[in-house]
Amino acid sequence: MARWTHDALDRLAARVASLESSLTTEVDDSIHDNVAGEIVAVTEKTAPVDADVILLEDSASSDAKKRVQLGNISRTAFVNMVLYDPAAGREFGLWYVDRAITVKQIRIWFYGMTAVSTIVRYGARNSSAWTNLVNGSWWGNATYGADATLNATSVPADQVIWCKINALTGASSPYEVGYSMEYEYTR
């Protein structure tokens, strides 16, 4: 039977203590899921730029950790325009888009008339080449809203979006036509 010397036992005890210590030691700058106030203690960046990165857990990928640049996060915005006592042939609502957008929905509504025929187009400034977003007629009973049929239409950067009323039916003053456009864009 082998005998342990005091020196061997001391070395073994020191090794066990070292292993125990390494198992319980944490890195001081870790972020924990059970400690409050750690994120607010981190230095804030007050002017983020497109190349800055944030960390997320991807729900579509079993919550795997992933990064995303701020410039790749899309935002939703709305533009509204109301025209009071409009006339057929009237053009209005010039919106300049300085970045590419995706038009998700255009809502056309009117009050004080039974029908409106309208067109919503976009094109480069100072150009005669236009692309239709909406071109149609809507009928109603004095107050009506219609969602134009769109399939997430992309509009490139440096474009102008404008509206034109082609015809009005059953208009009696006061009356109005309104347009609301929902779109997405990245920074």
So what's the pLDDT on residue 169?
78
Phi, psi of 89, rounded to the nearest 5 degrees: 90, -5
* Mean pLDDT within 136-146: 57
Is 122 inside any structural domain? yes
Is 1 inside any structural domain? no
So what's the pLDDT on residue 147?
55
Is 29 inside any structural domain? no
Say if residues 180 and 174 touch (Cβ distance below 8 Å): no
13's enclosing H/E stretch is: helix 6-24
- Count structural domains, the chain: 1
- CA-wise closest residue to 124 among 104, 105, 98: 98
CA distance 171 to 177: 11
Report cis status (omega within 30 of 0) of the bond before 174.
yes
So what's the pLDDT on residue 143?
44
Is 82 inside any structural domain? yes
Amino acid letter at 169? T
pLDDT band (50, 70, 90) for residue 141: very low
Is 81 inside any structural domain? yes
In tens, the pLDDT along 80-119 reads: 878 777 777 887 767 888 889 988 888 777 777 777 788 8
Is 172 inside any structural domain? yes
User: Which CATH number does the domain housing residue 80 bear?
Assistant: 2.60.120.1330
pLDDT > 60? residue 140: no
174's enclosing H/E stretch is: none
pLDDT band (50, 70, 90) for residue 12: confident
So what's the pLDDT on residue 167?
81
- CA-wise closest residue to 159 among 108, 109, 102: 102
Query: Between residues 27 and 141, which one has the greater pLDDT?
Result: 27
- CA-wise closest residue to 119 among 104, 102, 137: 137
So what's the pLDDT on residue 171?
66
Following DSSP, what letter does each residue of 153-185 receive, concatenated? EEE-SSEEEEEEEEEEES--SS-EEEEEEEEEE
pLDDT band (50, 70, 90) for residue 60: very high
Is 9 inside any structural domain? no
Three-state SS at 61: helix
Phi, psi of 49, rounded to the nearest 5 degrees: -120, 165
Q: Residue 99: give the domain boundaries.
A: 75-186
Would the pTM of this model clear 0.75, i.e. be above it?
no
Is 18 inside any structural domain? no
